[in-house]
Structure 1
Amino acid sequence: MDSTIIDGSVLTASNYLVYFFENSSTFRNFNIIGPGADKVGMTVWYSVIEASDCRISEVEIGLLQATSSVKIKRFIINIDDYDTYSGYIIHDACPENTCLSIFTENIFFIKHSSWPSLLYFFGGEQIIKNNIIIGEISARKGISFESQKRVIFKNNLVSGFRYENVSVSSHSDSVFLVNNNSMNVLYANVYGGAFQINQGDKTILKNNIIQNTNIGVSGYLDAVRSDYNLFNNVNTPVSNGAYLGEGNIFANPMFVNDTLPVPNGTYDLHLQKYSPAIDKGDPSITDVDKTRSDIGMYGGPEGETYVYLDLPPRTPKNFAYDYNTAHRILTLTWDMNTEYDFRNYNIYRDTISEFTPGEFNLIGQSDTSYYVDNLSSITAQNIYYRITAVDSQDNESQPGNEIAVLIVGVKPGVEILRDYILYQNYPNPFNPSTIISYEIKEHSYVKLMVYDIKGELIEVLVNKEQDAGYYEVEFDASVGSKQYAAGKPLASGIYLYRIEVIGKGNIPVYSDMKKMILIK
């Protein structure tokens, strides 16, 4: 069968839109649309199926597979928002251990699921390669292999699940978890995390990038060994019997665009030219170009060849200061860059606001996230600083926020005159959450609000007095405001966020509004 739209949006009589029973079929280029909850997009029962280039949406279960062998390639399966919270995609029962499931180059989006979103259990061999598996809103668990004969899980991205991304337990043969990116686990506590492994003595865990999670690798029953994995922003790399072997790296992997992976997002998880993950995988594994393997989803013999981009460091942010009045010493601080090839910061100073940094106003360099400037010889009342980050190849970032300094009176003192600034949210587009940051230059009353495109209030994020400084606040579209949206998830679209700052005497001193895009 080839090239058909199956529109089951008004289906009520059957729970199954496409059903294969005791046959051998090829199925490609289908668009399967369901009516929502309690429906299954595609069911394979006692069959051998090869299917490719299909899209399944508006169903509760994308693919139900039992006692069958399948080859699924280039599917897009989108499990939507249903109150039953059982939106797992694959359910495989094969007690005879004769089934073979091969999933390659697929994209899975799961919004709600109390079960593991991709569930394989009771026998058979699973080969899962080059897939993107993204959890959204309240998808609790990512992919789970239970009671399998053998598992090969390579070159996949798993991101955004609440408690665990990848879980493996009770397998009778080897499990290979190699060259994956497992990232952005929201609430892993004692167990769970990027990888939850049972029977670690049969599990090969190597060449993975593990990022943004409380727990990296959690063992259970038998210890699991972590070799040649890269950990970044992981509070507990290994726990509960898991242990570090050889070749592990703790560093920023330097992705081309390290925004949160979301459907149709701008994220790009290819490695930059000087990433510490390049050629640092297991020496026995080679990349497509026959060099030593990279760590991460594009490394290994089934990864990709691509040009490593040499990009500038990230722009410095979150500036603060300390001033010693007696000695007229100003100390500036900011967040430290973590790029592997970071070299130093350039410090620029001028007496003109909004100046362009250049060789004539470069006053110093620092390889740490602070700079000390002696102002005893400064006669100008106002001076301004801008700071950039520079890497080992002399690539220079855009300058951070301008820092305005006022030298006050005959006996000099210093005050950082922060502008009132509302920054663009990051990431943008986003799903399900994003960070909104702003600066205020003096103690003020601040209100930060989110509206829909019609101007209706969605949520009040900030409503209080705050001191001068830089602030960040998270907006989570998965729940919306309990007060204004009844706790319901927000739909995809354009939203507005607005800041209002009230100064002394209850006088408005600043307001601004920006757009942000939620894409599910």
Structure 2
Amino acid sequence: MKKSILLILIIVSIRAEIRYVKAGSPNPVPPYISWATAADSIGKALAVCLPGDTVFVGNGTYKETVVIPYGVSLIGQGRDSCVWDLRTLTSRASELGYIHLRDSCILKGFKIISRDTVSYINISTDKNAQKSLITENEMLYGSTVARISNVIGNVFKNCPAAMSVDYDFVPNNTKNTPWLIKDNIFIDCKSGIYVTIQVSAGSPLEISNNYFYIQPNRLRDYDHCYSNFISFRYSILFSNNIMVAYPRNYSVLPQVGLNGGEIIRNNVFSSRNHPDPMYYYREQIAVNSRPEAKLINNHHENNPLAINISPQGMANGAQIKYNNYWNVKWKYDIDNPDSSTELRADPMFVKDTVDFHLQKYSPLIDRGDPEIQDKDGTRSDIGAYGGLLGEIYTYIDKAPRIPVGLQVSKSDSFIVLRWRKNTEADFDRYHIYGDSVSGFTADSGKYLTYTRDTVLAMPERLFRWSKAYFRVKAIDRQGNKSEGSMWAGIVLTGMNEWAKVAEKYRLNQNYPNPWGSGGREKTRISYEIKERSYVKLRVYNILGDEVALLVNGEQPAGYYEYEFGNPVIAEELKGIKLA
């Protein structure tokens, strides 16, 4: 009989309960096991929880500090409607966040808003909370200290220090289960992930499939906005991440800082070339003299210097191989014994700086490290979707990019067309179209000729128009055609000197339009100016408010093109103004 009673008592003690919280609940009755008796604060519900309990939090705004007990799951109804506002709360101890997790906890489904300062710690965890999970939340401002928990599928916006892991210890993990920071999105964060913890070989840290994005001319209060996206020490796998950054200024720190033992594999690093010579030598990856850093299957683009590594670092065993460099002046500034494995090729992404999947004829397909396989068992691709943590997907065959920079001039008795070269691996030729009116449709009825060069001279006598206008299309080896370029034209009669037909300036239709996809898709804005002018290019939302100033300065005559993408207002673009 005693054994039976003891068994019953054990069953009761471990039975998990579901508890409820509702903002402004009129009838909070412990133990809060229905919506009708829901607690009116999160803290009250957590106070009666036992390991294994789950607390569901209803829509509304909550302003309180809590400690989530061991083994308890705290689930909000969604980050679009379940708000945790920490801005008016009193600061806590430096090691304790406003929301603190013990081990084996889950925090999910909240929008967490804090003050815009690194000293406000939104979320913290115990040092050994490796079984805890922070997932599907949105963090605005403040910082998160996740000492040893899994952080998966969150959105961090405008955080001065989005995530910091800053305690040295060896996690208790004998099963070699990775500690995961993956599938997160970091938007306009001065520092995305900062890791300074020792991770033992038996407990690997995996930072994978994250997306880091800094919008053009954002972070205006942070001139050094490109400061230390990722800075970590000891053995860490940093794989299949995408970093797209267009900061107003670079800091003195690199995009990724390595301190030895890291594996940097199948990432995309996309920057912009900074016009200020002060920042001209800022690298995307910096490797110190510690040994064994491995940089493999990565893609670098649009930066003067990709990797800064000392000769001592290479002598100590660092490896740089099977990477691609596009619009990069210097790959690195040392001798690399594996340089023959490296590429300089147009990656042929599905959509430049937006969708980094590879097109069907990309030179990065099956060009990664042959010792690494893609998920489908073939040799690894270079880039964010190749390798062991990549994706299985179908390579699509897209038309070439639209030719840009078309200019028309006169040389003796010839009309001369010039434009920028297409760089796709499967590019074949250009088709030239002409008409006597501007804005014409480049169809078969307007076709003139073809060429594989980017300069074409046509005799003046072939044209009987008073004005001539031209457009160019790019064609690949499969016969796919791009859309026609912007038109350019000249006056053929009535002038001693030939001249371009142009207004003082012309703002072209942005493309694509409409656009959106949460800010990952971008629209291209192009314009032409006839003479050196002071230019302001502004973007407005549906309320008529200015949301971005893309250009503000003097520019020489010519054709200009900018990409604009903003996750906050992507669906609210109203207009673009050139003045």
Q: What TM bracket, shorter-length normalisation?
A: 0.7 to 0.9
Give the counterpart of 1:437 among 518, 523, 526: 526
C-alpha separation between the residues in 2 aligned to 1:233 and 1:459?
A: 22
**Who is 1:508 aligned against?**
none
C-alpha separation between the residues in 1 aligned to 2:381 and 2:538?
A: 43
C-alpha separation between the residues in 2 aligned to 1:463 and 1:151?
A: 43
**Who is 2:228 aligned against?**
164
Q: Secondary structure at the match of 2:187?
A: strand
**Who is 1:68 aligned against?**
128
Alpha carbons 1:62, 1:78 under 8 Å: kept: no
**Who is 1:339 aligned against?**
424
C-alpha separation between the residues in 1 aligned to 2:556 and 2:302?
A: 29
Alpha carbons 1:178, 1:206 under 8 Å: kept: yes
Alpha carbons 1:320, 1:334 under 8 Å: kept: yes
AA of the residue aligned to 2:104: V
Alpha carbons 1:316, 1:389 under 8 Å: kept: yes
Alignment CA distance shift 1:279-1:435 (3 Å): same
Give the counterpart of 1:209 among 255, 268, 284: 268
- The reply to whether residue 385 of structure 1 matches residue 449 of structure 2 is no
Considering fraction of residues, name the structure with more strand: 1
AA of the residue aligned to 2:154: I
Shift of 1:28: 4.7
Give the counterpart of 1:191 among 245, 250, 253: 253
**Who is 2:57 aligned against?**
5
Alpha carbons 1:346, 1:387 under 8 Å: kept: yes
AA of the residue aligned to 2:254: G
**Who is 2:303 aligned against?**
234
C-alpha separation between the residues in 2 aligned to 1:418 and 1:112?
A: 45
Q: Secondary structure at the match of 1:287?
A: coil
Alpha carbons 1:15, 1:38 under 8 Å: kept: no
**Who is 1:133 aligned against?**
185
Shift of 1:396: 0.9
- The reply to whether residue 221 of structure 1 matches residue 289 of structure 2 is yes
**Who is 1:416 aligned against?**
500
C-alpha separation between the residues in 1 aligned to 2:192 and 2:359?
A: 27
Shift of 1:167: 1.6
Alignment CA distance shift 1:362-1:491 (3 Å): closer
Q: Secondary structure at the match of 2:146?
A: coil
Within-5 A mapping of 1:26-425? 26-28=73-75, 30-31=77-78, 32-37=82-87, 42-45=99-102, 47-49=103-105, 51=106, 54-59=109-114, 61-71=121-131, 75-81=135-141, 87-92=142-147, 101-104=149-152, 106-113=153-160, 115=161, 117-124=163-170, 127-128=179-180, 130-136=182-188, 139-149=189-199, 150-160=204-214, 162-169=226-233, 171=234, 174-184=235-245, 186=247, 187-188=249-250, 190-193=252-255, 195-199=256-260, 202-212=261-271, 214-222=282-290, 224-241=293-310, 245-250=320-325, 251-259=345-353, 267-324=354-411, 327-359=412-444, 361-409=446-494, 413-418=497-502, 421-425=506-510
Shift of 1:452: 5.2
Question: 1:434-484, CA deviations, whole angstroms, 9 ceiling, x for partnerless residues?
Answer: 874322457888665555544466787778897754345788989xxxxxx
Gaps of at least 5 residues in structure 2 are 1-52, 90-96, 116-120, 172-177, 215-224, 273-281, 326-344
Shift of 1:131: 1.1
C-alpha separation between the residues in 1 aligned to 2:192 and 2:395?
A: 30
Question: 1:246-298, CA deviations, whole angstroms, 9 ceiling, x for partnerless residues?
Answer: 22222333332335xxxxxxx43322222233222222222221111223332
Alpha carbons 1:280, 1:293 under 8 Å: kept: yes
AA of the residue aligned to 1:357: A
Alignment CA distance shift 1:443-1:320 (3 Å): same
User: Over aligned residue pairs, what C-alpha RMSD do you find?
Assistant: 3.9
Alignment CA distance shift 1:476-1:272 (3 Å): closer
Alignment: residue pair count: 451
Which entry has the higher C-alpha Rg, 1 or 2?
2
**Who is 1:504 aligned against?**
none
Q: Secondary structure at the match of 1:48?
A: coil
Shift of 1:119: 3.5
C-alpha separation between the residues in 1 aligned to 2:395 and 2:134?
A: 26
Shift of 1:67: 1.5
C-alpha separation between the residues in 2 aligned to 1:90 and 1:28?
A: 20
Shift of 1:367: 3.6
C-alpha separation between the residues in 1 aligned to 2:469 and 2:132?
A: 59
Shift of 1:107: 3.1
C-alpha separation between the residues in 2 aligned to 1:118 and 1:281?
A: 31
Shift of 1:395: 1.1
**Who is 1:497 aligned against?**
576
**Who is 2:8 aligned against?**
none
Alpha carbons 2:298, 2:384 under 8 Å: kept: no
C-alpha separation between the residues in 2 aligned to 1:460 and 1:157?
A: 24
Alignment CA distance shift 1:410-1:6 (3 Å): closer
Shift of 1:305: 1.5
C-alpha separation between the residues in 2 aligned to 1:204 and 1:465?
A: 44
Shift of 1:209: 2.2
Gaps of at least 5 residues in structure 1 are 82-86, 93-99, 260-266, 479-488, 501-520
Alpha carbons 2:165, 2:195 under 8 Å: kept: yes
Alignment CA distance shift 1:461-1:313 (3 Å): closer
Q: Secondary structure at the match of 1:312?
A: coil
Question: 1:364-386, CA deviations, whole angstroms, 9 ceiling, x for partnerless residues?
Answer: 33444433333244333222211
**Who is 1:482 aligned against?**
none
Considering fraction of residues, name the structure with more helix: 2
Alignment CA distance shift 1:131-1:456 (3 Å): closer
Alpha carbons 1:179, 1:298 under 8 Å: kept: yes
Alignment CA distance shift 1:41-1:273 (3 Å): farther
Alpha carbons 1:182, 1:211 under 8 Å: kept: yes
C-alpha separation between the residues in 2 aligned to 1:476 and 1:358?
A: 31
TM-score of the two chains, using structure 1 as the length reference:
0.73
Question: 1:301-355, CA deviations, whole angstroms, 9 ceiling, x for partnerless residues?
Answer: 333212221111221223334432xx12333233333333333322222335444
AA of the residue aligned to 2:183: N
- The reply to whether residue 20 of structure 1 matches residue 68 of structure 2 is yes
Alignment CA distance shift 1:188-1:312 (3 Å): same
C-alpha separation between the residues in 2 aligned to 1:435 and 1:315?
A: 12
Shift of 1:176: 1.9
Higher RCO structure (Cα 8 Å, ≥6 apart)? 1
Alignment CA distance shift 1:281-1:124 (3 Å): farther
C-alpha separation between the residues in 1 aligned to 2:57 and 2:183?
A: 24
C-alpha separation between the residues in 2 aligned to 1:455 and 1:209?
A: 35
Q: Secondary structure at the match of 1:69?
A: coil
